[in-house]
Amino acid sequence: MAGAVPAMQSSPTAPIVRSESPAAGAAQPSKSEEVKQLNKIIAGALSAVLLSGVAGITLGDDDDDRGGTEQRWGTLVPVVNERYRTECGGCHFAYQPGLLPAQDWGRVMGSLANHFGDDASLDPAVAKELLDYLITNSSDGGSSLRSIAVEAPATAPAVNLPRITQTTYFQRKHDEIPTRLVTENAKVGSFSNCQACHQGAEQANFDEDAVSIPGAPNWKD
């Protein structure tokens, strides 16, 4: 019949899935308690990752075991920016960008008017070029022990500006060097004077076997 509504076709009845209901009277965790529990799980996971990294730094790196040591620490890239080498290396050692994280380089370059007590101001365009180079080649994002150690909290945080000599990485690598052989040594003067003892410093070669401390040929004994 015209205009008649077709009869609805019956479809198989879908099975009903019943969820297990909690026992009567059982206390259910509130949303805030669930969030707290989740945060504890996340915090525990992060702690495990951080502890594994620290363990690798303090226990995994045996300076006397040359097999694989440099591979674990990762390769430090030499300075390739000539302007950086000229502008910064003209007053002190041109430190490799990979020795600090990007945030710390930003603080250093943002305080050139008072650069560890000196006015090292640069033309804004030059300063930006150097900052871009430092950030692009900083230690950030690396999976090597060097990157982890460089970015770890400093053993003695600087009051004003970050110092490479206060990074966990630097402290770990120099923990066997008597202070008197450096700060009381007129030919060295400071732990920041890298090239005084590391003849391959400019090539980013800081291998312990190539270290020669002026006036202390038998410093390992």
> What does each of the 221 residues of the chain score in pLDDT, given as a tens digit?
444 434 434 444 444 444 444 444 445 555 455 445 544 543 443 343 334 343 333 333 344 433 344 445 567 889 999 999 999 999 999 999 999 999 999 999 999 999 999 999 999 999 999 999 999 999 886 666 677 777 776 655 556 789 999 888 898 889 989 999 999 999 999 999 999 999 999 999 988 888 999 998 788 76
Asked, for residue 198, whether it belongs to a domain, the answer is no
* Distant-in-sequence contacts of 171-176, Cβ < 8 A, 24+ apart: 172/57, 172/58, 172/61, 173/63, 173/206, 176/63
Residue 211: φ, ψ to 5° = -80, 135
pLDDT in the model for residue 148: 74
Tokens of residue 188, six digits: 């060295």
Q: Cα separation of 19 and 24, whole Å? A: 14
pLDDT in the model for residue 195: 94
Asked, for residue 172, whether it belongs to a domain, the answer is no
Tokens of residue 67, six digits: 């097999």
Q: Scanning the structure block, which residue is given the tokens 């495990």?
A: 48
Tokens of residue 186, six digits: 């007129």
pLDDT in the model for residue 213: 94
Asked, for residue 102, whether it belongs to a domain, the answer is yes
Asked, for residue 124, whether it belongs to a domain, the answer is yes
Asked, for residue 197, whether it belongs to a domain, the answer is no
CA 50 to chain centre: 12
- Give the CA distances from residue 157 to residues 38, 68, 97, 103, 175, in Å, rounded to whole numbers and listed in that order: 32, 31, 19, 14, 17
pLDDT in the model for residue 119: 96
Asked, for residue 171, whether it belongs to a domain, the answer is no
Is the C-alpha dihedral spanning 34, 40, 41, 43 positive or negative?
positive
Asked, for residue 9, whether it belongs to a domain, the answer is no
- Count: domains in the chain: 1
Q: Cα separation of 85 and 75, whole Å? A: 20
Round the CA-based radius of gyration of the chain to a whole number and report it: 29
Residue type, 168: T
Residue type, 99: L
pLDDT in the model for residue 217: 78
pLDDT in the model for residue 93: 95
DSSP-assigned letter for residue 97: G
pTM here? 0.64
Domain range spanning residue 145? 38-152
Tokens of residue 148, six digits: 């982890």
Asked, for residue 24, whether it belongs to a domain, the answer is no
pLDDT in the model for residue 143: 61
